[in-house]
Chains A and B, each alone.
Chain A
């Protein structure tokens, strides 16, 4: 199963909004509203930021939002802050016929 495609890097200034794309296929992102997003700071375990395309777990800032259109999901960070600088990974359910989950390639977010 091929990894979902994300841009290698995205940057923005404090206070700005940025959007990270996550492109899959009609077999994964396009077929299920089961895309999740994870934030990972260096040397730390990933943290769930968004699940089921657009839902935020308890405790996650409402500056983080998710959406999906066709085979592409997106994560938007509004009001960018220094602590948002991290790696971000998308993940999609891909059905149970083969391996059910696939991660994205990852995006490094830099706060300028």
Chain B
């Protein structure tokens, strides 16, 4: 059974940093592109960042470019998102997601990040 388990969310002050982690199991993690998708309270889905299987290709949404860094450790079956210079508008549930055939077949349960003073 495929499992994606996020951790690392919480309350942080504006300008602060947070590191999200995603532990993957049940599939060959190193073969798939991995992604972070977020959803602000009451809002729609927003694709935040994407990293290819070997980390050769990395993409960021304009809204987080220069502040967030995605990375992965295939030996540990883990995905990360380092978030710096956090803003109130970064408040959201962050989902870890695995990509297959250009679609997200598997989602984590999400971790809530709240940016507030």
Contacts and interface: CB of A to CB of B under 8 A. Distances in A.
Do A and B pair up? The answer is yes
Interface of A: 1, 3, 32, 34, 36, 38, 40, 45-48, 51-52, 57, 89, 91, 93, 96, 99-106
Interface residues of B, number: 21
B88 interface: no
Interface of B: 35, 44-47, 50, 57, 59-62, 95, 101-105, 107-110
B99 to A, nearest CB: 9
A22 to B, nearest CB: 12
Contacts of B47: 91, 99, 101-103
Per DSSP, chain B at the interface is: strand
A103 B101 contact: no
A99 B61 contact: yes
A36 B44 contact: no
A46 B45 contact: yes
B46 A103 contact: yes
A84 B27 CA distance: 29
A51 B109 CA distance: 21
Contacts of A1: 62
